Amino acid sequence: MAENSGTTQPLLQGINDQARLSDLSSEAVEELLAQEPVSVGQWLRLVGWESKLLWYLSGASIAVSIFNFMLSLVTQMFTGHLGALELAGASIANVGIQGLAYGIMLGMASAVQTVCGQAYGAKKYDSMGIVCQKAIILHLGASVLLTFVYWYSGTILRAIGQSDSISAQGQIFARGLLPQLYAFAIYCPMQRFLQAQNIVNPLAYISFGIFLVHILLTWLVVDVVEYGLLGAALTLGLSWWLLVFVTGLYIILSPSCKETWTGFSMKAFRGLWSYLKLTLASAVMLCLEIWYNQGIVLISGLLPNPTISLDSISICMNYLNWDMQFMLGLSTGTSVRVGNELGAGNPKVARLSVIVVNATSILISIIFSAFVLICRTALSKAFTSDDEVITAVSDLTPLLAISVFLNGIQPILSGVAIGSGWQAVVAYVNLTTYYIIGLPIGCVLGFKTGLGVAGIWWGMIFGVFLQTVTLIILTARTNWNKEVEKAADRLKISADDEEKRDLVEHIA
């Protein structure tokens, strides 16, 4: 007991000294949390310490998420000046085609967050560059398969009920987006690779710079040179390749990555199958989440009076997407924090991270939901002057507020799952709550009860609510000590595989 008391005393002094709050290490906090009891004052200081780390990661990640999202938004705004048909084609291609690829790529990249985040926490830096390269190889392979979807997008759009004219414009736009698809495949792993090392501010600066360049380029191509819909799509691809080029240069040249990036290696082609299994689980998990909202929009187009239904739900989804980008940035910070601490063997700090980020996200969501309700009419007038659409959007804003609140909890819990490596379990949860329960209920309410688009949205809310409750239960029942052991086993298996392959090559 005397030994423990002597060890703990300096830690307690550090916690009680505000000036030294930033100097605390995760190991010191882990040791303090292991002591009983921890006073209220110390808890508040620990929450402040964790919040500072979380917002350092999340603030820049939110900026990256929003500015990258705005690349497509700016392109869509410029296509609106080409005509209603061109805008409809670009919009439906964004939802039905690009959204498909976005879900797959973003989902696959979350595996990089899991493995690299835990490897960074465990100080196994040399394996992180190899993981990033493995991810790029698999992403490029997925891009080759998705190329056929982009190329034959007109046929696909007609098959889901779109008119011939809109499908034709959508195909032009989707084919022009093919360069962007391959850039996205390379950028996503690089972004997660840097975020796993807590390198976030440079990513934000790069994204902001490319966003400004993109506005200029799109204006020149669409308004000045008048290259039309295809020109707008190709410009979006060019901007994404600029993101790849500048981010790649940073990884190769920056001293911050000298330990984690040691150059291209043939080791990236080894053990692809074991990494692919985690990647597929990650892709399925996030795809089921992202496609759920997009499916709601597509289904709304099948309702009676589809113009009003599509316009109203699309306006609401625009605001929900803005909120989603904010929460995805916070979710990224969460997954990095949890992954780093599990890899470092600090289960109590990982649990503290989960508590702090969930409390933070709930508070933010309450504020965002209140804003939606207070500004319900102004939100619709920002997009349209049609009185019928304004009324329809105003009627949907209470549902939007509920979705915004749930959206502040669910992505954060998904970030915890990514940091912990639970992707396969959450994929089953998403499939059940979204597609087996939520979507059928929404279709029944929308088409059979006269509720229309509101009925479809109620089904979506019910599915998200069930998924959120399930993730809360899963997180609350987590044994974080076991999660540390799983993280260590995951990294050990990867290291053992590399050693075995090197030994076989040496013998041969």
Let me know if residue 491 belongs to a domain: yes
Give me the sign of the Cα torsion angle 88, 89, 91, 97: positive
Task: Confirm if 78 and 385 have CB atoms less than 8 A apart.
Answer: no
Q: Which amino acid is at 235?
A: T
Q: CA 412, CA 333: separation in Å to the nearest integer?
A: 9
Task: Confirm if 175 and 151 have CB atoms less than 8 A apart.
Answer: yes
Task: Confirm if 246 and 254 have CB atoms less than 8 A apart.
Answer: no
Let me know if residue 396 belongs to a domain: yes
Task: Confirm if 141 and 282 have CB atoms less than 8 A apart.
Answer: no
pLDDT at residue 480, rounded to an integer = 74
Q: CA 438, CA 185: separation in Å to the nearest integer?
A: 31
pLDDT at residue 218, rounded to an integer = 93
Give Cβ neighbours of residue 438 (< 8 Å, ≥ 6 apart): 292, 459, 460, 462, 463, 464, 466
Let me know if residue 23 belongs to a domain: no
Number of domains composing the chain: 1
From residue 137, alpha-carbon distances to 221, 264, 266, 280, 287 in Å are 32, 12, 11, 14, 19
Let me know if residue 17 belongs to a domain: no
Task: State pTM to two decimals.
Answer: 0.76
Please identify every stretch of the chain with a pLDDT value under 50, giving residue numbers as ranges. 1-19, 499-508
3-class secondary-structure state, position 35: coil
Let me know if residue 501 belongs to a domain: no
Task: Confirm if 53 and 337 have CB atoms less than 8 A apart.
Answer: yes
pLDDT at residue 23, rounded to an integer = 58
pLDDT at residue 506, rounded to an integer = 35
Q: CA 43, CA 55: separation in Å to the nearest integer?
A: 18
pLDDT at residue 157, rounded to an integer = 82
Q: CA 61, CA 68: separation in Å to the nearest integer?
A: 11
**Which one, of 136, 122, 117, lies nearest residue 272 by Cα?**
136
Write out 267-309 in H/E/C secondary structure.
HHHCCHHHHHHHHHHHHHHHHHHHHHHHHHHHHHCCCCCHHHH
pLDDT at residue 504, rounded to an integer = 35
Nearest 10 degrees: Cα torsion 466, 472, 475, 478: -90
Q: CA 34, CA 31: separation in Å to the nearest integer?
A: 5
Range of the domain at 273: 49-495
pLDDT at residue 12, rounded to an integer = 44
Let me know if residue 33 belongs to a domain: no
Give Cβ neighbours of residue 360 (< 8 Å, ≥ 6 apart): 51, 54, 330
Q: CA 181, CA 369: separation in Å to the nearest integer?
A: 34
pLDDT at residue 423, rounded to an integer = 67
How many C-beta neighbours within 10 Å does residue 448 have? 9
Task: Confirm if 488 and 122 have CB atoms less than 8 A apart.
Answer: yes
Q: What is the pLDDT of residues 199-247, one digit of tens each?
A: 889 999 999 999 999 999 999 998 888 888 899 999 999 999 999 999 9
Q: What is the pLDDT of residues 288-327, one digit of tens each?
A: 776 776 677 667 666 666 666 666 776 777 777 778 778 8
Q: CA 369, CA 400: separation in Å to the nearest integer?
A: 8
Task: Confirm if 453 and 309 have CB atoms less than 8 A apart.
Answer: yes
